[in-house]
Amino acid sequence: MSYEVMYNKNGILSLEIDRVVEAAYPNPSQVYFNFDVRTGETIGIRDVINDSLFEKFQAKVFSDKIDSLKEYTSLLKNQLAQKEIAI
């Protein structure tokens, strides 16, 4: 397990925690925590994104995720066609 401070300004501390569960196959995962250093309380996305902009932000995140998945799918299809990977 390891961690990295991703952000530490303006009273906000963001941490990334990386861990790998070892079993038959390693299973890595990442968890992110955000804190208000003045109160110690956790901070959620709605605490930092203005309510009037949240829907736009959410749409952008989902759009970027779909684009990323399409790119990844295309990469895998190309690797499969080139026999770099197999099913």
Give the pLDDT confidence of 1-32 residue by residue, as tens digits.
Answer: 999 999 999 999 999 999 998 888 889 999 99
Q: What is the pTM of this model?
A: 0.62
Domain boundaries, the chain: 1-48, 50-87
Determine the Cα–Cα distance for residues 49 and 44; give it in Å rounded to an integer.
9
Do residues 5 and 15 lie in contact, with contact meaning Cβ atoms separated by under 8 Å? yes
Q: Which of 22, 11, 74, 87 is nearest to 48 (CA)?
A: 11
Task: Specify the CATH superfamily of domain 1-48.
Answer: Fervidobacterium nodosum Rt17-B1 like (3.30.565.40)
What is the spatial distance between Cα 40 and Cα 53, in angstroms, rounded to a whole number? 26
| Model pLDDT for residues 39-76, shown as the tens digit of each residue | 999 999 999 899 999 999 999 999 999 999 999 999 99
